[in-house]
Structure 1
């Protein structure tokens, strides 16, 4: 039984009212706001209170990333935060975290703060081989929560109901046996939704470095024959598509300064070379930020001729590279490409082209 204390004789002075108002106003600090307008609170209690009061601005992702299965996970489906169970009927106030296991968390400004999420927030639901949901992430960007699941906003208990005092017990009351507790109702788990198709990530890149080339040329006069190699500055620009964690494809253009070759009689030649190519990439993440990959493809190589004009040949290409993430979208990139030489029967006979470059890659 609940009994309430009557307060007929308590008077609130203006000083008391002002003091109470200041205490309520300063109870919670203003939330932290990142550049996208998302908010975070210093404590879980502040975040919970804002959600319950209806004043919280729920987190809205701004980037896009495909889903990524982790160890023990067999499939992934789309859903809402409230699909994780009744505990999430008000949403979540989760501790903001940074990048881990190849996936980001929240913006740097909100890391260490408690970030509110709506019960209608779209999430990726990762399941094991039995169909049990074992992890959730933010749907649009696949950003991670602080744990396998976000921290739910506690549902406040119902307000107490005042009841009148019980009457004095009658003499020799008859004590009835308590009614048995109802058996728990088992609600079957919903069938897993269809597996979400992984997205394709486009990117652009540019590098600057050095181009090594060589040539053997038999001139008609004989004395101006050339057998020389040269290194000049060059660069590559390209676009790519990352189909999944392993496989990708790229188109690129390579150019640079003209190579300076000297004939046996001292005659000098300035010979330009450029290449337009396509290649497949196959790689994997060595660490959370470092990725190594190999390259296989072909390039259409165009050389200036010693006698004027130019010629183009399609040649095989092998290579390797690496990227190191600086942020969710931007990374440092290193490239090595080896374009195979032509057959020995040609004149001029161009040698292998080797390119070494360092630059940036931006993923969308």
Structure 2
């Protein structure tokens, strides 16, 4: 529930910004970088939140549809799970996603994410080799266009198989 409230509050902030921005470019290649919080559910690691970093390269096919290749660091804590029983926890995720969205105003855009990727399951002991799982991702977010090429984004995503919740804030530049 707190996760949903955080998303609602961040989305409201985007609507409260001044409306001097322009609509982003409709088509083209873009790069994005995000940082935020990853909440990992694993019985082999603590339930705390870690810093999450991600980057993506994408193509905005039309004003309502885009595709991107992305990579996300889910756990930047090198001691994660050191005091829990031996097992695996999600550490990294990369994949391909479709991004569908709609403009709410000239500057504000709402979008959804659906995709699939590979999650690296890291062992919390040195004797446990890393494993890789196929992991679907779903997400919702909002963006605020600062100019035709630059925008700020807030997104909530969920990796369904590894049960990782992500809340990120980032920037996107479109070429």
Could you say whether these structures have the same fold, taking a TM-score greater than 0.5 normalized by the shorter chain as the test? yes
Aligned to 1:244, what secondary structure does the other structure show?
coil
Alignment partner, residue 339 of structure 1:
159
Structure 1 position 257 matched with structure 2 position 66: no
Alignment partner, residue 97 of structure 2:
279
| 1:323 pairs with one of 110, 128, 143 | 143
* Aligned equivalents of 1:208, 1:99: Cα separation in 2: 23
When the two chains are superposed, the root-mean-square deviation of aligned CA atoms in Å is 2.6
Structure 1 position 359 matched with structure 2 position 170: yes
TM-superposed CA distance for 1:272, in Å, is: 6.4
Instruction: Give the structure with the larger strand fraction.
Output: 2
* Aligned equivalents of 1:361, 1:237: Cα separation in 2: 10
Give the structure, 1 or 2, with the largest relative contact order (CA under 8 Å, sep 6 or more). 2
* Aligned equivalents of 2:29, 2:160: Cα separation in 1: 28
| 1:209 pairs with one of 36, 40, 46 | 36
| 1:295 pairs with one of 105, 108, 113 | 113
Instruction: Mark the runs of 5 or more structure 1 residues left unpaired by the alignment.
Output: 1-97, 104-140, 142-198, 217-225, 342-350
* Aligned equivalents of 2:110, 2:60: Cα separation in 1: 13
Instruction: Mark the runs of 5 or more structure 2 residues left unpaired by the alignment.
Output: 1-19
Cα 1:272–1:340 change in 2 (3 A) is closer
Q: TM-score, normalised by structure 2?
A: 0.76
Alignment partner, residue 55 of structure 2:
237
Alignment partner, residue 42 of structure 1:
none
**Structure showing greater Rg:** 1
Q: Which 4+ residue blocks in structure 1 deviate beyond 3 angstroms?
A: 267-272
Q: TM-score, normalised by structure 1?
A: 0.38
Equivalenced residue count is: 151
